[in-house]
Amino acid sequence: MFQDIRKFTLLLYLEKLIFVFLWLLFAVYAFAGEPIAFEEIIVTPGRFTIQEGTQSTLSLSKKEVDLYPLIDNDIMRAAQIFPGVVSNDFSARFSVRGGEKDEILVRLDGMELFDPYHLQDFGGAVSIIDLGLISRADLLMGGFPAEFGDKMSGVFDITAREGNREQVSVNLGLDLINAHALIEGPLSEKGSWIFSARRGYIDLILALMDTNEDLNPRYTDLFGKVVYDLTDQDKLTVNSFYAWDRNLIQGNDLENNLDSDYSNSMLWTKWRHSFSQSIWSNLFIFNGWANRDRQKGVDGIDQRDFSFLGTKGEFVARMLNSHTIRCGLEWRWSTVEYNYAVREQRAGIEQYQQIRAEINDNGSILKAYLQDEWQLHPIIAINIGTRYLAQDYRRPDVQRHEVSPRVALAVNPMENLVLRGAWGLYHQPINLMTIPVEDEIQDVGRAQAAMHYVFGAEFTSGRNLLIQAEGYYKKLENLSGQIRDFGRKTQIFINPGSGYVNGFDLFISQAISDQLTWSLGYAYAIAKEKLENQEFYRQSDQRHAITLNSGYQFSPRWYLHCGWRFHTGNPATELIHNTLVTDSVECDRQFGQYNSQRLPAYHSLDLRITKSSAFKSWDLNWYFQVLNLYWRKNVHEHAFSKVRNEVTNEVEGCEVSDEPLLPLVPTIGATVRF
């Protein structure tokens, strides 16, 4: 619960925001005379879109994203194009605007996905969603409406395309990381189907890294989607996916060895009924499973079995040519089992703490939302809504429900200019499938909370130029700890109680001609957390970040794309590794102040050349790309390490080493479609 004084302060901020918009409205009426009718105004701030077809002023075409130099052509990694996104080479996971990586809602065809990443032990290096399946992806970075929950920072809303309704077609692809197949075709005369499969072998890239560990990760995933038109007003869609991982890490240090197995699957159906062109409903029924069997070190065990099922309904009505009413209700039942027993090394000489957790629980969660997007005037639109959440498996001493009101306002004071602002309360509950047992928590308490304030402006010039700038402030409360990165080395974690984030994003995109495009993103952010009376930087604190991209089509079939990424160093904790010599060499681990240092600045130049060829009955596309073209030795983290004798494998000394990110990585790939 926010304290009274904080409530009062937040209300003052909200009043100021509303005052600014009312003043702008008065100015528009005073100087513009008769209002000018414009197209429908997009109210939500911080929104970027990747979609098939013609590029709009607020979107990037999927064809353009296909040409970006990205590891595994991953749709999640495409998010790094936009300012405010914090990511690294190893992980497809990302955070936005000072948030943590578990604060992003990922939806596919209207359903929330649980942990949609492969290679969890490497930070989630690859998403389970093949880029070839994507029709549209929307990234919302703050101030998003009530229909989206229950995450504190952002939303990545993905729509999978439907299969080809005219003929059967096949797309086969092969590159350095995986092989994939995508098959699609018609279903009688009223529907379509699409199916994809991938098999990954990312160990080939990991072998290029400078490490003493033997890394052998493998993954595979399957996806299917069937669409059938029952009547002119009714459409039935069935989606399913299955993802599997096996990771093996072996080295000289037995405490860091790892053998793990993951699986994740889900099945859902959607019945869409159209009452008219402006009124429709969606009914979902879903079921999912997830399993983890992880053995770390000498005797560490992390076993988790999750299952869930539920239903949800959505209703949309466009009324009186100015209102779009959206409401929804969801019920979900979950059953979980945890068996966690891991020794974590602490400060000192071979000091360990045994963390144990055994949980066998079940329960339900109820979600509901109601919102109205109202075109008040040809130049003014507002979105007002609220979200409700209730969990019956929380501890009896805490409140079991939350209400999250939200409001956003957009003003179009002149042609090509839109001003936007938003305020909202965003709750992120711990659910049965995300209990942080690593932090010795075995029950579910209050939800984390964030209060968003967003204000921005967007200028467009036809289809050629977009300039978008936004400032934001987020107040964080009831934080339950940071997401754990089971990466190559042990990280340092603490459990803060509150925090704040403020910053500014700038994005400029322009199509200079049909052949040449470019974009520039800049982000400034301060992200801090507080424990008792001490403040410290969050892991996602990046003071300055720049992304620069340019694409050139120098012939009808040849494309060149370059991208340069820079950000100042992330926070890091000082590590002290003393060598003590007695009868043998021992290492004394000590830690300095949490996140009081900075890693070196990161920058990388990436390049990709793509060639497309069309033949009589089939198409061929191939690409050659180089990541980190000038071989910058970027640092992922500082880590404790032991110097061992190459012959006897005995410890000779103790040091702190820099764990690198990716070196220069050349890759080549090809896809065939027929």
Q: Is the model more confident about 257 or about 448?
A: 448
Q: How do 191-200 and 214-215 pair as beta strands? A: unpaired
Average pLDDT over residues 445-451: 91
Cα distance between residue 163 and residue 175, in whole Å: 24
Q: 61, 53 in Cβ contact below 8 A?
A: yes
* Rounded Cα distance, 661 and 395, in Å: 41
Q: Identify which of 372, 388, 484, 439 has the alpha carbon closest to the alpha carbon of residue 150.
A: 388
For 468-509, how does the pLDDT look when each residue is reduced to its tens digit (9 = 90+)?
A: 999 999 999 988 755 444 444 555 556 677 899 999 999 999
- pLDDT for residue 337: 96
Cα separation, 19 vs 22, whole angstroms? 5
Predicted confidence (pLDDT) at residue 12 exceeds the cutoff of 60: no
Q: Where are the alpha helices (DSSP H) in 126-231?
A: 203-206
Q: The tokens of 201 are what? A: 């072998």
d(CA 161, CA 138): 14
Give the residue among 475, 393, 399, 402 at the shortest CA–CA distance from 435: 393
CA distances from 185 to 57, 130, 242 (A): 32, 18, 21
Q: Which of 310, 265, 223 is nearest to 114 (CA)?
A: 265
Out of 312-316, 425-429, 656-660, pick the least confident: 656-660
Give the Å distances, CA to CA, from 419 to 45, 267, 405, 423: 9, 41, 21, 14
At 10 the three-state DSSP class reads: helix
More confident residue, 583 or 488: 583
Element (DSSP H or E) covering residue 62: helix 62-65
Confidence grade of residue 594 (pLDDT, cut at 50, 70, 90): confident
Highest mean pLDDT among 41-55, 244-258, 636-650: 636-650
Measure the CA–CA gap between 588 and 592, rounded to whole angstroms.
13
Residue 537 carries which side chain, given as an amino acid letter? Answer: Y
pLDDT tens column, 311-360: 999 999 998 888 999 999 999 999 999 999 988 777 777 777 888 999 99
C-alpha–C-alpha distance, residues 152 and 499, integer Å: 13
d(CA 453, CA 478): 18
| Mean pLDDT calculated for residue range 9-35 | 42
Q: Are 412 and 424 in contact (CB under 8 A)?
A: no
Residue 23, H or E segment = helix 4-32
Domains along the chain with CATH numbers = 35-673 (2.40.170.20)
Tell me phi and psi for residue 446, to 5 degrees: -65, 155
Q: What is the DSSP string of 275-286?
A: SSSSEEEEEEEE
> Which token pair is 507?
């994005």
- Joined tokens for residue 437: 């047992």
- Shortest CA distance to 641 belongs to which of 575, 570, 571? 575
* CB atoms near residue 412 (< 10 Å): 22
Angle at 606 (CA atoms; ends 605, 607), nearest 5 degrees? 125
Higher pLDDT, 121 or 245: 245
From residue 200, how far is each of 176, 179, 218, 219 by CA, in Å? 9, 6, 6, 5
Q: Over the stretch 80-101, which tens digit does the pLDDT of each residue have? A: 888 999 988 888 899 999 988 8
Q: Does residue 51 have a pLDDT over 70?
A: no
Most confident of 381-385, 395-399, 414-418, 536-540: 381-385
| Residue pair 322/465 in contact by the 8 Å Cβ criterion | no
- Residue 410 in tokens: 């957009």
C-alpha to C-alpha distances, 616 to 340, 559, 674, nearest whole angstrom: 58, 22, 10
pLDDT given at position 426: 95
218: Cβ contacts below 8 Å, ≥ 6 apart: 200, 201, 203, 245, 246, 247
